[in-house]
Structure 1
Amino acid sequence: MTAMNPIRLLIVEDDVRLARGLAMNLALEDFSAETVHTGEAALDALAAEEPPFDFVVLDIMLPGIDGLEVCRLLRDRGNHIPILFLTAKGSDADKVLGLHIGGDDYLTKPFVVEELMVRIRGILRRTEWSSRPTAVDPHISIGQFDANLVTMQARTVQGERDLTEREVILLRYFAENEDKVLQRGDLLEHVWGYAFDTSTRTLDTFVHRLRKYFEADPRHPQHFHTVRGVGYRFTS
């Protein structure tokens, strides 16, 4: 995006002062940021066709419809806009659920604005990369199960299910590097666009979920292998 056509962000945060502060800081980085303070207002803003938003910073704890329900409704409607959740300390269950229903990552309050910028830019960069043609067959077989990177649908242990965009991006990168040992930093860099040394448990949450989808026994994985002290290795 150029200064003439900046990336449009929607900040959904019920703390008005925090929302305004984030919008001001994002504007200094050449983003176009708008703020709303309820889940209902977020859904209305995102339903408008023109001009579309490119990214959502979404607080989980909102009055009325909370951030998790906003995300769930967007994904149910086929809206795959990148979503970064803002969460409170100690809300681990909300973090896991947020990623499960289609969030791309989360940031725990309090945080520094620079970290928010890193997350936003990284997720946008990898989302753009994922739209390019893949070097592998988009239909991936994983043991007795399979996933389609184009339709974002999979046959899993639990039956037919839709995959989130970040799950598809992670699966694609694993498939493009089958049998290779991938370092944690490499996966974070290529799937989330983060710096190699970024500290986050998001990757582990996503791998855990892929194991639940495609492993007959997730405790003894045959496809998504942990390489202790290094990262992960995928075999179909």
Structure 2
Amino acid sequence: MAKVIAVVDDEIKIRGTIKSYLKNEGFDIIEAEDGDSAVQIANQHAADLILLDVMMPNKDGLQALREIRTLSSKMPIIMLTAKSEEIDKLLGLEMGADDYITKPFSMRELTARIKTVLRRAAPEDIHAEQDVVLIRGDIEINESTYEVTVRNERINLTPTEYKILVTLAQKPGRVYSRLQLMEHAMGEAFSQYERSIDTHVSNLRKKIEKDHTHPEYIYTVYGIGYRFGDKQ
């Protein structure tokens, strides 16, 4: 069954260009022109991924993203931003966007990003009859159900945050450069967005650490990247 992509942008010409290309790539497309529609699409689970423009009248992309993340932590979202909107890119990642792409962009790159985020969000085939649970200190990761509990409390992670946590937790002590972490956790590495991994890690720390300013699990290896330190 074809994956459904929601293209949310107030510029009809941009929506038309994206729709035409992605349909040729085998996707089904839903078009919307404002943030309220994006929230409705997420609430109804009408799409497998949302392409969400930042600059829209009335409710903009960041406002819509904030609302969507209160409804669903798992809905894959890629933000569409203008070249001058660096602060919006960072805010979008901090608020839970899985990725962003800067206008003007090539359709080939956009398609590659979509496929990467969809792979990241898709559950892998689990053939074992019993759940596969990874335990690291106070953290339990059920790799069969994609559930994460910290100090006996279930937490909601975006697909990107989940992949980063599993990648690091599977090999405590191993140091990953930012580029390596992107390759392992995201499927592909786009070097020009290498620093965005810092924002995802920061979000993850806020969810799993007792004090995210003094982490007990995800450590920064200065000048290189990150490693997981098991408390046990």
Q: Compute the TM-score of the two structures, normalised by the length of structure 1.
A: 0.78
Other-structure match for 2:165: 171
Query: 2:70 and 2:167 mapped to 1: Cα distance?
Result: 25
Q: For residue 192 of structure 2, what is the amino acid of its counterpart?
A: S
Structure 1: segments with no counterpart, 5+ residues? none
Out of 33, 39, 43, the residue aligned to residue 37 of structure 1 is 33
1:110 corresponds in structure 2 to 104
**Retained in 1: the 8 A contact 2:73–2:157?**
no
The aligned counterpart of 1:199 is: 192
1:54-81 per-position Cα deviation (integer Å, ceiling 9, x unaligned): 1110011112222122222222223622
Cα 1:229–1:151 change in 2 (3 A) is: same
Structure 1 residues 95-140: Cα deviation after superposition (integer angstroms, max 9, x where no partner): 2222222211111222222221111111111222568599973554
TM-score, normalised via structure 2 length:
0.79
Task: Work out which of the residue numbers 158, 161, 174 in structure 2 matches 1:180.
Answer: 174
Q: Which amino acid aligns with 1:11?
A: V
Partner of 2:49: 55
Equivalent residue letter for 1:111: F
Work out whether residues 101 and 164 of structure 1, in 8 Å CA contact, stay in contact via their aligned partners in 2. Answer: no
Q: CA deviation at 1:148?
A: 5.6
Give the counterpart of 2:5 among 9, 12, 34.
Answer: 9
1:27-106 aligned at under 5 Å gives the runs: 27-48=23-44, 52-78=46-72, 80-106=74-100
Identity %: 33
Offset from partner CA, 1:199-235 (integer Å, 9 cap, x none):
21221111233345527473x6554333455432111
